[in-house]
Structure 1
Amino acid sequence: MIRVLFVCLGNICRSPMAEAVFRHRLKEAGLAERIETDSAGTGDWHLCKPPHEGTRALLDSRGISYEGIRARQVLLDDFDRFDYIVCMDSNNERDVRNVFGSKADGNTKVFKFMDLLPEQENDDVPDPYYTGNFEEVYKLVAEGCDNLLVRIRDEHPDQVR
């Protein structure tokens, strides 16, 4: 089983959107049994809450389920549990690396989501909690999730066909 964790600040906007979109892509590709996805936040403000209403509305409009997604905080054990830890912005990546300590030094399993979209000018996925632009975030997330699936297929051809 290959495991992917998406991380943002509060785990109610960007990372649960990415989790839901990626889970949807995996189901469409027939890979839901081979690749597991989850999301977490670096902060603890929204623990156990469902995704933000803006994220829910956007996912609903596209027929993408967010069932069972609840905010949680990144845990030290996540480093060993997940193969890909995808951070939505530079601050999230820094905070995640701090949580994981020396384990994460130079480790490529922790990276920024925008690394999946090298043609984009932004270094970070904008936070719609502050911008209100859930549509912009969805476009980045959808394209990035597609690219992540290609990357996983390239890196694990024997496990993911």
Structure 2
Amino acid sequence: MKRDHRGNPNKGPSHVRLYDWLMDSDAWKDLSAQARALYVLLKAQYRGMNNGRLVLSIRQVSEELHISKTTAAEAFKELVAHGFTEVVIRGSFGGRKDGRATEWRLTEHPCDVSGELPSKAFMRWRPGSISTVRPEGQSVPHSGLTGTHSGPSKSLRA
């Protein structure tokens, strides 16, 4: 009998599980088809002990989903803005110069790098909300990744 990475009997082929509560969330319903497909790609890499070490580049996503690099980059931003993913280690163009892709974590699961509990930030996302991209603090407006943003709304200003 085959065994998994933990030594347990292998119960079947690997698969990606998307729960109803996740797909019923306002955040999921607001995602583009490209962002949903990207989430499935990231989720397919999750093995129960590597959240926070999910490596996927814009180029890889572009090739896998047959979309432009610009569209792939927008899909990543959309997942972060809606609270589905977080950057753990920024890739080459974000400070690291070793040519490696960004390492991601799914907020649906505990982070295996930091031990942080699942935040499920997407469950708190609401239409029209402003999300913050970590760790640089870049604001991404819900109204669109190509739209303009003049700063926090009046309700968020001190």
Work out whether the TM-score is over 0.5. Answer: no
Calculate the TM-score normalised by the size of structure 2: 0.31
Higher relative contact order (CA 8 A, sep 6+): 1
Calculate the TM-score normalised by the size of structure 1: 0.31
Normalized per residue, the structure richer in helix is 1
